[in-house]
Structure 1
Amino acid sequence: MMGVAREELFQVGTVIGTHGLRGDLKVRPLTQGSASLLEARSLSLRQAGGEEYASYRLKKASVHKGIILLRLEGLESIDAVAPLKGAEVFMPLADLPEAEVDESYWYELQGAEVVDRRLGSIGTLEDVFTTPAHDVYVVQGRYGEVMIPAVDEFILEFDAQNACLRVDLPLGLVDEGRED
């Protein structure tokens, strides 16, 4: 086990169970890009709602039916990993591959102001979730909760330096009659 500071970590998934008898963990990735954890050298786990992180070297990683299977050094039996169900999985920011052009990591987007071409500021990007087709951004702001499909037609650009996501939303996606 190794120690890592929280600000150096990026959440990539959640442990949903065990696989086999050798201590493999079944991890549901948080976003489509979370498959990058297959390349990680080490991972940190934190019990849901907990504050402490335990870091491990990654021994083995593979994808099985959309779920990522991990084997971590020092956790090599089902008894060792069974208590980890529900734990959050983090990887060091330094291990993340460079984002592709016109792509960003969740930690870069979180908290960004979302500005629509027509409506102006609609709120703050609070969450992201994955669907089979695409990610969905959850924005909280003056129109309540707005869910924005993260597709090229709606996302114009992300200005990381100013933490601003510029969008062009279709009529009807935002309930303009409701201002909080």
Structure 2
Amino acid sequence: MKKEDCFYLGKIVKKYSFKGELLAKLDTDEPELYDELDAIFIDLKGNLVPFLIESSQLHKSDLLRLKLEDVDSEADADSLLKTELYLPLDLLPKLEGDKFYFHEVIGFKVKDKNFGDVGIITGINDTTAQALFEIDRDGTEILIPLNDEFIVKVDRKNKTIEVDTPEGLIDLYLED
């Protein structure tokens, strides 16, 4: 399994018991969706390694307590601390309407209500306080904030996102 075929679920943050149990901090608003998994992928030195789950349960609402097969001691558990957890993309809950996962809109066309065709989404920059659509317009990069007020419609069938940005925002990137 390759990382690009998976999504980041969370990170193992600490040991729970001397029997090899672990606590994972999940990167989700709905941790209850993941409390009955059969298996998980763990990133070990850049390789995704599958681990079978013997048992799991939510712990203090946002942590997942995991007992992994063949992880039976504190030493085994220590070796997995701070590692990242992944699941295959097909296990992501389907989003509908104007909600979307960042990875699913790469390649979508962006149309602005006033400006018209803006370009193609090449990426999402979520390293800033406000996530940004990275859009390629004939070699020029245009950044549009991922703001619910700007997003008018997500059309998965036609791979387009309609936005309504403040007047002049797109022009800022096109002026010489």
Place the TM-score, normalised by the shorter chain, in its bin.
0.5 to 0.7
Residue 112 of structure 1 pairs with residue 108 of structure 2: yes
Q: Report the TM-score when normalising by structure 2.
A: 0.67
1:69 aligns with 2:67: no
Query: Unaligned regions of 5+ residues in structure 2, if any?
Result: none
Give the AA of the match of 1:37.
Y
> Cα–Cα, structure 1 residues 99 and 34, in superposed 2: closer, same or farther, change >3 Å?
farther
Name the CA shift for 1:145/1:76 in 2 (closer, same or farther; >3 Å).
farther
**% identity of equivalent residues:** 20
Write out per-residue CA displacement over residues 68-110 of structure 1, whole angstroms, 9 at most, x where no aligned residue. 3241422344432434345332213343333244433333223
Do the aligned partners of residues 101 and 178 (structure 1) sit closer, same or farther apart at CA in structure 2, a change above 3 Å counting? closer
Q: Is 1:148 matched up with 2:145?
A: yes
Cα distance in 1 for partners of 2:16, 2:95 equals 34
Gaps of 5+ in 1: none
C-alpha contact (below 8 Å) 2:15/2:81 kept by paired residues: no
Task: Pick from 25, 42, 49 the counterpart of residue 54 of structure 1.
Answer: 49
Alignment: residue pair count: 168
Cα shift at 1:44: 1.2
Q: What is the CA-CA distance between 1:42 and the residue it aligns to?
A: 2.4
In the alignment, what sits opposite 2:156?
160
CA pair 39-23 structure 1, distance change in 2 beyond 3 A: closer
The higher radius of gyration belongs to: 2
RMSD: 3.7
How far off its partner does 1:138 sit? Answer: 3.6
Structure-2 residue corresponding to 1:126 = 123
